[in-house]
Chains A and B, each alone.
Chain A
């Protein structure tokens, strides 16, 4: 079964606006990861947040984690057309070695 679900499924914004995507997961985690996938390409790791962290920044990216609600959000500030991609959250399932990906959010940034 899927570990993570994301919303919205799709998001369209203008360049310069902020984009927020949310991820909910089911079981306890040690960390949560966010990945980006450009059309026709592989996934690229963006940021990893550990279960004892509440917020993490990397450039224009800000990730929050609320373990009590089993949810995370990814905020992209001052978006650019080049941010157009699908974004996935991922967590390791229980004591397995399986990285389970969410359903993804398709972000379209219009110039």
Chain B
């Protein structure tokens, strides 16, 4: 019954590795997002997809690549992980650009 679910919840890995985070929503929303929350709780938009089409691509390293196989899924692949990538990554979805967003519980990424 979880509306927005993301896996894994925790990801601990070595610098230089490649990893993926998966997100699925069962709310029938057209728009999905990826956010990064740093250690000071500051939340910043990274990407947004509307109906599988990329509409927001913030200034993030191109090591980060989102993929939306269908409008219910938005995955995040990260290449060559760096220490500064350590953060909590949240997936969210909404019905429109100014509608309330529904968040997953986050993936805590720790780089060793």
Binding site for B on A (CB under 8 A): 30-31, 33, 37, 40-45, 48, 86, 88, 92, 96-101, 103-104, 106
* A31 contact set on B, CB distance < 8 A: 98
Contact A41 B100 (CB under 8 A): no
Contact A30 B98 (CB under 8 A): yes
* Complex alpha-carbon distance, A96 and B22, angstroms: 25
* Complex alpha-carbon distance, A86 and B103, angstroms: 15
Q: Does B82 contact A (CB under 8 A)?
A: no
**10 sample A-B contacts, Cβ–Cβ < 8 Å, listed by A number:** A42-B92, A43-B43, A43-B92, A44-B103, A45-B101, A97-B48, A98-B58, A101-B43, A101-B44, A104-B41
Contact B98 A41 (CB under 8 A): no
Question: Which listed residue, A42, A92, A97, A104, touches B103 by the CB 8 Å rule?
Answer: A42
A97 in contact with B43 given A44-B103, A48-B100 (CB within 8 Å):
no
Question: Which listed residue, A86, A88, A98, touches B45 by the CB 8 Å rule?
Answer: A98
* A40 contact set on B, CB distance < 8 A: 105-106
